[in-house]
Amino acid sequence: MHLEDIQKDIYEIYIHHDRRRGIDKTLEWFLTEVYELYIAIKYGGDIGEEASDVIAWLLSLCNLYGINIEIEFKRKYGNKCPKCDSKPCTCEYRPEPNKKVVIVRIQ
């Protein structure tokens, strides 16, 4: 199964809910699932389940924007690093991202 097929399945199953929810609320759901994945990794939990949820909500966002993520992913990453144009990547190792993210949970 290709990513495009998975995205199509998510579209067929959830687009009516996603459209009603809108982009802002769908984004909130996506970020909630990213946070749940973070918690599962950091403190223990079902990482596979949470990673699947993250992908599903990302695909819902892409569907709302009309983005075919498989095409975009291949365009950016293809089969090599988009920065150094090499496989394997020959970029200088960075132990941390360039930007810091603050995780805040508001209930």
pLDDT single digits (tens) 14-58:
999 999 999 999 999 999 999 999 999 999 999 999 999 999 999
Domain span including residue 17: 3-77
Q: Residue 46's domain is classified under what CATH number? A: 1.10.287.1080
| 58: in domain | yes
CA 67 to CA 26: how far, in whole Å? 15
Number of separate domains in the chain: 1
Does the model's pTM come out above 0.95?
A: no
| 93: in domain | no
| 98: in domain | no
Distance from CA of residue 44 to its chain's centroid?
Answer: 20
Residue type, 20: R
| 34: in domain | yes
| 12: in domain | yes
